[in-house]
Structure 1
Amino acid sequence: MNEAALQQELARLRTELEALRLANAALERQMSRDAERTDEMLRALESHGNALREANQRYQSQSNFIQRVMDSTGALMIVLGPDGRLLRINQQCAQELAAVDAEPEPAVADAWLHPAERQSLAAELGSLPWPVHSALFETVRCRGDYAAEHRLRGRDGRYRHYWLKVSVQHNPQGKEEGAVICATDITVLKQQQERLRRSESLLKEAQHIAQLGHWELDLASGRLTWSEQVYRIFELTRTEPPHSYQAFLALVHPEDREQVDRAYQASLANSQPYDIQHRLQFADGSIKWVHERSQNYYAADGRPLRSVGTVQDITEQHIVDEQLRLAASVFDNSLNAILITDAKAHILKVNRVFSEVMGYKPDEVIGRKPNLFKSGHHGKRFYQELWSSLKREGKWQGEIWDRRKDGELIPLWQNISSVRDSEGRVICYISVFYDLSEQKQSAEHIHYLAYYDALTDLPNRQHFQERCEHSLERARRDRQTLALLFLDLDRFKHVNDSLGHPIGDELLRMAGQRLKDSLRQGDTVARLGGDEFIILLESHPSISDTEKVAAKILQALARPFQVQGHKLEIGTSIGISLYPDDGEDYTTLIKHADLAMYQAKERGRGNFQFFEAHLTERARERLFLEGELREALNRGELQVHYQPQYSLADGRLIGAEALLRWRHPDRGMIPPDKFIAIAEDSGLIVPIGEWVLRTACHQARIWAEAGKGFQRMAVNLSGAQIERSDVLAAVGRILAETGLAPQHLELEITETYIMRQAERNIQVMEALRNLGLTLAIDDFGTGQSSLSYLKRLPVDKLKIDRSFVMDIPQDANDSAITRSILALGHSLRLTVLAEGVETAEQLAFLQELACDEAQGYYFSRPLDAANFDGLIFG
């Protein structure tokens, strides 16, 4: 390298060295400045740290001061953070309240609240749009300041009552920083309040129970004040109290008012207590009794200042006193004997009736025991049960036999009651009793009347039913048979009606005796009523045995009875049912025996019939027809048809007989022989008969006024109509309603019914004939008319029964009977009409005998009104 190059290199190096020196100097200056800044910063940090330490010391000092302040108060202090969680509690709180588990989150004051109160706060708070840690805190935030009574859980797990005041805390900028709870234990206060409330309640209850109230009268101002109970006693509301003494007097009963005022004024004047009982009268007229007491207070100069007193409702006590006085009067004047003993059964007191019943004077029994009257009639067990009932139930009643002073045994109905004190100890026994002698005699008589027929001295229906049911129980148990015989007396009603009830009663007595004499030992006969009797055959009777008893009864009753100079022949019909073949209970057996008896009557009377199953069907059919017949008239199912009647002298149509027909909606035309008897038995014949008579009379007027020679309408009159209604009035009323002239009406009455009560029926017939109508004897020849009665009957016509006409002239007997009836009728100047003419031979025979009139199928079947018009107007 040359020197020039070397010089250049040295120059470059010197330049770089200078540059380095300058840079180093600059760096040293910068480092010097940075060191100064670092020292300044460190000094500042040290100063700030000192300030922080001083602030922390002040905060800790302030916190300790706050804690000391919180701990120095007797109340519980609780500080909550801005989210409602616990920040701080004082020492009192830590000592009194239960420890709160802060895991997994810091605890809230709600943990100390009673569960019911937590639920109540949460329910009132409702749903909020942010997380709720404490319902109490959120309630305080909503309300601002909060004060309420709550129960908080203590360290012992029990809840005590606290008064909580809670306020929300804000920083200077108004931001919520939390809340402070101050809780004061008021448990003792609550207990005192509860005791006071209970004490006041007990006082009110005591006053209410005792019906006692207090009042005060300020004599200077005249103002009267009352307690609540006085309002109840005087039945006033607090809006209407008497504010003065005079207003109070107005509530006193008018008759007691002057006495009350005089007593009170005297107490003021004499400085004496006021004590009086008087009445109150209310607007509705009701009355109460009250007891008033008062004490007066006076000034130093003797001036009365005020009166303080009580008023008590003694209405019940007054009633009790009256009742006691009444009880004493009742005891002395009772119609029953009364005996009172002490707890050891020593007699303390007896009344007047006791002496009359038992014969002892009071001084003869007082101090002694009731076993003085022991009769020996009862065993030891009887008295043991009596005393056992008294100890167990406090009473005993029943029949007891005692011995009077004169030694006579006497039945008594006795009621013994024990009287106990408030602790349940027996203090006395009261016995009330009366003599049963007359009642026993009456009871025996009543039993006889209840179970025996007074006329025949036989068991009655009730007695027979009980005996039969007992027999059925034995028969079921022992698998035996029984037989029931149901009977009534044939022709008894005729005897009763014609000869009178005394004769009928004597006949029933004699028939009952014959029945008793006809039975085996152990069998029972009873009278059910009227002329119906029933017999129970026990001891396993066979059908043969039953038949023999029935035949014996028929024979016994077939013999004539001599009753007060009358020779009476009646006979009987018997229906028989057997257990168990015909029924297993009393009701079924008696029903079936009754049905069998009617079957016996239908077969000619004077016989017996065993029950047959088909009779039940006939009974059902009868019940059905009776039920339907009751509605048939209202439903328009009944019709009247008319059978023409002709004069045999010239063949003219002269009249018609009205005949009842029944067209049932389901069964069609029902024959009269199936429902007329039902109508008569049920009484329906009366309204139905009047309807037929009214319909026939209305139609007869139309035909009679047509001028075609129609002379009369014949209408059957049932015996039941005469017996069960005022037939005379009914006929007169219907003639007036329809406007039919009486001479166009002919009433037909059967010969059999007329002869039941001939004398009575003759009077009825005469009254009917006096109306101007004509009368005919229907079915003549089938009854047993006496000629002496026949000539007295106020009739105009005899109708020969069709049973005599149907076989003439072939049957010599029927021809002779018909000839005799015609001769008898004509001799009595009566018109004679033949029923049931069906052939030309019958007509020719009747014309030959000069029979006046005829009707029957030979001339025409019965026609309805429209078709009958064809005969008249055609």
Structure 2
Amino acid sequence: MGFFNRLSNLIRTKYTTFKQQLDIGKNPLFSQLPDAVFIINTESHILSMNHQAKTLLGYTPEDRKNFLAKWMPNDMVDILKSNIHLTRNGESPTFNAVLLHKTGQKIPILFTLIPNGNDCIYCVCKDLRTINDYKNRISSLYDNLLYLQKITNIGSFDYDVALDTSFWSNQTYEIFGVDDCEFVPTWETIVQLIHPNDKKKYEETIQNSIDYGHDYELEHRIVRSNGEDRIAFQRGEAVKDETGKTVRLIGTVQDITEQKNLELKLIENEKQMKSVTDRLHVGIWSYDVRQNRYTLCSKGIEEMYGVAQQEFLEKNTTWFKYIHQEDLFYVLADFKRSMNGDEMTFKHRIIDANGNVKWLHHQVLPYQDADGTVIRLDGIIGDITKEKEQQDTLTFNANHDYLTKLPNRRYFEKELAETLHQSLNGLEMVAVFYLDLDRFKLINDTLGHEIGDKLLINVAKRLNHVLGDHTFLARLGGDEFAVCVKQFEEKDEVIRIAESIIQAMKEPFDLDGELVKTATSIGISFFPDDGLESLMLLKRADHALYKAKEAGRGKWMFYS
């Protein structure tokens, strides 16, 4: 009877143990845990394993009837057994070992053994391949970060407010010029590295960030241990706990010394350039095509136009507002050609803010990108009003009589030649008058050359008054004058003009109280009847004048 009781108890115990094993295998944590889990006994016999374990090692459910130790390299078996032995004392050891995949591949595993009573042990296996991969990737990223910080000269920091300790990257130590083995970055030691003139600003900025949780940006100077001054730009972010209290400051610090030096040099160059351009007697401007705005306008332009520089920069239309209306069309055309890449030089007039007409010399230089697209126009403007006036005076004097201001012989011959050329194309007639004053030599000899000059001036005025729109009057020299008559259909019209001139000349001239009488005779030639060239027509009109004088003076006569 005792034997059967013992056998019954043994069967009951085995059944209970087996049932517990089945119950454990049905536990949701067992099936849903992301790691591989084996249920083993103290002999490493596999009682159950979850799906993740099958996936990890590639074994089928039939393969589970094995010992876990057989799925390990021989040198790892003793490690497993010694740690199983620890579970008998209620410990849950964790250790590194290797499991063999069904294909023979070695898989690094972090084992955790958890005793569960009745010689049952949970064996949780964390696949270290993913963790090691993460570690390698993190290490690679960290190395890359350090490299990037070095080549960009940007360091990072993490300051623990409560502990007053900081983590600094290698580049941060490099920027501050201190040894990472000797220097401990705390609030007090860091402040000692700040330039004395920037300490107050630095302390207030950091303290405000801590007190109010504000992020910050700060530019300040550093005094390195070798006495060298550097300029740093620091950007920080406040990290708060659940109560809203700032517990950490994390951020970056960048050495911007070279950048600031370049900026200062650029500013200095800009000041120098502005000083030079403002002192030049020319105006300089620059137009950004892509932004459609003027970016530069020198002081010289303000003086030329009588308009503030700022108005030119703010309003594109200001530039064309003051251009003389007669010149606006071709100025716009030249600017358009500049936009197409042509360098243009031209002259035009403006009417400045005070109503003065000025002549400007304009040079427009297009600047193109690599694709040949014009992205900027640069211009140089010079005020050439005085030069233009001098040139006009020289041109006028070269073409006009100094006494009467009438066109001279050269100008008359030139204009007559152009008129004949135009008339030849249109088969129109042109009349040429050649006339002089009667008794002019006698007036000069008796009343003096001053009266003679005044007489010539007044004769020119009276002739201009008598002649109509389609005539051209000139003084050929001495008391000789010439008239070109255009746009007539009958010779009778020419006769009427000649007779009106003769009649007008019979009226006495009052020359400063001195009444002077004179008269004129006129010789007339016709184009094309009497010649096709200006010199021939003048010569034949002069011959007709000679015949008119022979006929009794104060008369006109056609060339025959």
| TM tier, smaller | 0.3 to 0.5
Query: How does the TM-score come out when normalised to structure 1?
Result: 0.29
Higher Cα Rg, which structure: 1
- Of structures 1 and 2, the one with the larger relative CO (CA 8 A, separation 6+) is 2
